[in-house]
Structure 1
Amino acid sequence: MRPRDLRAPDPDLRARWDALALASGAAPFMRPGWLGAWADAFGRADDLRVLTVERRGELVGVLPLLPGPLGLRAPTNHETARFAPVLADDEAATELADRLLAAGTTVDLGALAVESPATPALRAAAGRAGAPSLERPVCVSPWIDTTGDPASFLARLSKNRRHGLRRLRHRMADVGEVVLDVRDGTEHLDALLDEGFGLEARPWKLAAGSAIRSSPASVRFYTEAARWAAAEGILRLVHLRIDGRGVAFGYCLRQGGTLSFLKLGMDDELAKLGPGVVLTHHLVDHCCSDPELVELDLLGDSESYKADLASGTREQVRLQVFGHRLTGSAHRAALASAARLRAEAVSRMSDDTRARLSAWRNRWRPGGARVSASRSLTSAE
């Protein structure tokens, strides 16, 4: 691959990229509007490039990348829900992988969806090229099948979980009138985001530096992304209210048959009522009532409350390929050793020490690239 094979995403390419994403059923996180908001917020707009594959003049593959002194990497960070190239078919995945590794440099793809056809294609291309690779798990994200009615969802759960959900909902209803308020952002967007970001800025998240409001870059990202998503008709800002008071918040995207649940906030004063779990259950009911929605994607790590509700999971990995013929093997060995030592050191730390380390890194890591104590995007605790 030659440097000129990496293109800046001009308006024409963005339009073709977006059309391919919609036609292929790619997640909204891989559309140029979403990634453009990410690049603008985190200071990478001038660096963003794309590797493309065309077939008889038709765009069939797009992989966004950030070139750097150590090679090429995915435009991902702590706020990335999921990453994968946009592909028309498996043939495009193979060609894209071969062209990418032809660069003979390090390729670092974080938050890569294992289910994407690009993932096995990249593994195979690395094998053909004789390039060392390193693959590490990032997270396992739960999703909920919302086909059928709410009763069929409850029937899939354990008896204890069904009882627990009903108990929380009844307890909340005893406090006041409970309403699920779902907005598409076409009106009062700033006010809705301000209310939601306030609920998401829980004290422990602010202390750890992992709340949206902990970073001006994160606030800008989620605000600009919401404006783009609202214009596209896919934004869903969800507030669970008791007598009009917001007690839980969900930042969601609706595209195709999936409602993606990216961010969760709640009023900690009402923690005993389980507002995060109740909001999630209400979202299941919301999806079940809409025949076009087939799943609620919870994203983030498989925490206990998510695992109890989930119908299945999706894996994400960090895949690195070391294409330099002279230094690739040494580079891989060094990173693998460092990762192993880091994991061993963290496993010996107390929970308090890990939390303090996470907070320190979140405050001092440049460019807003925080590392939270948990990789999870949503937490109902």
Structure 2
Amino acid sequence: MRYESFAERRATPGLPSRALAHVQAWAVLGEAATLPTQHPDFGQAAVQALLPSTPQILVEGSPAAGFEAIVPLVRDGGRLARWRLLGDREVHEPGGPLVRDAKAAMRLAQALCALARPVEFARVPLDSPIVAALREVAPAHGKLIVREADPCPFLALDESWGTPENRFSSRRRSDFRRAQRKADRLGEVGYAMHRPSPVEFNQLFDEAIAVEAKSWKRAAGTAILCDPAKERFFRSYLRACAERGETRIAAMRIDGKMVAVQLAVAWRGRYWLYKIGFDEAVGKCSPGTLLMLHALGEAAREGLSRFEMMGESDSWISDFWTREAHPCVRLRFYPRSLAGYVGLAQDTLGWAQTRLDRRFRPDAA
């Protein structure tokens, strides 16, 4: 099968016109998706909200022979800018090319290696077919560097998680009860796992992101409300998921006021957690912990098989909830071209500087 690299274009609001013509093909290939970030709704929302004026290409199977792989790539301006996976930098969720099978991944790898610019995938699951394909194909065309990326923590669920507190030690169960008593002293506590319809979505989403902004995330600048483009993205994407009944908004309320929230989707039998937040004014009762416990129970009772925490494997996850995680890698391919040589030199200098900083920083010991 011959692959096409669609010509570079300056995007207008919405998906590029050529890409719009292939949304249906993307949806057909969706049966091979292993991550919700590979769904066309994720890509469409990302382009519309985050990258409306970014040069884009879409590499996919030849229309004459049928579509078997799609990878939306974007880049910054400039002759030496590299291609990267749509959404990698903006939302830092795990992602990767959508391929039908291992043979399609090999042909896609050939197409990627034929591009004149470097190509980067920031956070690809290690078991993605594109990892093995690029490792085999890339050496004949340039330099491939594979490095560890942030893993994706998860919890495997079964019926026993329907009462999640029983999965933990007596000491931890005591901690949960203590936190619940503190919450009860603040008012009437309630939990809900909302499955909003498109009509209900906006009101719940507004309430959720307002709660998230009341935590440390506002000061860090990572709250959704701190970034209008990111707010547009999550609103558009999760509303599209709501149209299919997949959006989940878990909420903890005290006297009717939301104090903790999770934004997630239920997709392919799993609970995929995108965002968490809580109101620091009630932080002493550990609202995030109490809501996580409730969400685990709801996901298990719904019959979902895994609770996927798509963010980084921070200590609050590994020390408190799970140490299981899907390994991920960062892929960087540098073709034998001016842009490839410059990109490799820049990254090599950057890695060397990082190693020096770690070696000589005051707290290195």
TM-score (normalizing by structure 1): 0.82
Partner-residue secondary structure (3-state), 2:310: coil
The AA in structure 2 aligned to 1:252 is A
Q: Aligned in 2, Cα 1:55/1:26: closer, same or farther, shift over 3 Å?
A: farther
The answer to whether the 8 Å contact 2:277/2:288 transfers is yes
The AA in structure 1 aligned to 2:122 is G
Distance 1:171 1:66 in 2: 48
Matching of residue 272 in structure 1 with residue 300 in structure 2: no
Distance 1:100 1:185 in 2: 39
The AA in structure 2 aligned to 1:52 is E
Counterpart of 1:146 in structure 2 is: 157
Matching of residue 11 in structure 1 with residue 20 in structure 2: yes
Matching of residue 248 in structure 1 with residue 257 in structure 2: no
Matching of residue 36 in structure 1 with residue 44 in structure 2: yes
The answer to whether the 8 Å contact 1:145/1:311 transfers is no
Counterpart of 1:110 in structure 2 is: 122
Which of the residues 290, 293, 299 maps onto 1:281?
293
The answer to whether the 8 Å contact 2:94/2:123 transfers is yes
Matches within 5 A, 1:296-375: 296-307=307-318, 308-310=320-322, 312-325=324-337, 328=340, 331-342=343-354, 344-345=356-357
Matching of residue 165 in structure 1 with residue 173 in structure 2: no
Shift of 1:250: 0.8
Shift of 1:47: 3.1
Distance 2:43 2:213 in 1: 24
Distance 1:151 1:234 in 2: 20
The answer to whether the 8 Å contact 2:54/2:75 transfers is no
Distance 1:189 1:128 in 2: 50
Partner-residue secondary structure (3-state), 1:309: coil
Matches within 5 A, 1:173-184: 173=184, 175-184=186-195
Counterpart of 1:53 in structure 2 is: 61
Distance 1:96 1:170 in 2: 55
The answer to whether the 8 Å contact 2:193/2:295 transfers is no
Q: Deviations over 1:193-220 (max 9, x none)?
A: 1111111113532222211111111111
Q: Aligned in 2, Cα 1:45/1:144: closer, same or farther, shift over 3 Å?
A: farther
The AA in structure 2 aligned to 1:37 is A
Q: Deviations over 1:20-64 (max 9, x none)?
A: 11x124322111211111111123366333111259733221111
Distance 2:349 2:174 in 1: 47
Q: Deviations over 1:140-169 (max 9, x none)?
A: 221111122227855654554444334323
Matching of residue 237 in structure 1 with residue 249 in structure 2: yes
Partner-residue secondary structure (3-state), 2:34: coil
Distance 1:65 1:56 in 2: 22
The answer to whether the 8 Å contact 1:277/1:305 transfers is no
Counterpart of 1:366 in structure 2 is: none
Distance 2:200 2:181 in 1: 31
Shift of 1:337: 2.5
Shift of 1:347: 7.3
Partner-residue secondary structure (3-state), 1:149: helix
Partner-residue secondary structure (3-state), 1:210: coil
Counterpart of 2:12 in structure 1 is: none
The AA in structure 2 aligned to 1:310 is T
The answer to whether the 8 Å contact 1:134/1:336 transfers is no
The AA in structure 1 aligned to 2:22 is L
Structure 2 residue runs of 5 or longer lacking an equivalent are 10-15
Counterpart of 1:188 in structure 2 is: 200
The AA in structure 2 aligned to 1:298 is M
Matches within 5 A, 1:179-218: 179-186=190-197, 187-202=199-214, 204-218=216-230
Distance 1:80 1:334 in 2: 22
Counterpart of 1:126 in structure 2 is: 138
Counterpart of 1:221 in structure 2 is: 233
Report the more deviating stretch, 180-189 or 42-51: 42-51
Shift of 1:341: 1.0
Counterpart of 2:91 in structure 1 is: 79
Distance 2:301 2:339 in 1: 56
Shift of 1:175: 4.2
Structure 1 residue runs of 5 or longer lacking an equivalent are 352-381
The AA in structure 2 aligned to 1:214 is C
Shift of 1:325: 4.7
Q: Deviations over 1:200-258 (max 9, x none)?
A: 11353222221111111111111112221212321112211123221101111111111
User: In the comparison of the two structures, how many residue pairs are matched?
Assistant: 348
Which of the residues 105, 109, 112 maps onto 1:97?
109
Give the RMSD, CA atoms, in angstroms: 2.8
Counterpart of 1:378 in structure 2 is: none
Q: Percent identity?
A: 24
The answer to whether the 8 Å contact 1:39/1:48 transfers is no
Counterpart of 1:367 in structure 2 is: none
Q: Aligned in 2, Cα 1:245/1:66: closer, same or farther, shift over 3 Å?
A: same
The answer to whether the 8 Å contact 1:134/1:332 transfers is no
Q: Deviations over 1:98-126 (max 9, x none)?
A: 11102243111222222311122122221
TM-score (normalizing by structure 2): 0.85
Q: Aligned in 2, Cα 1:2/1:191: closer, same or farther, shift over 3 Å?
A: closer
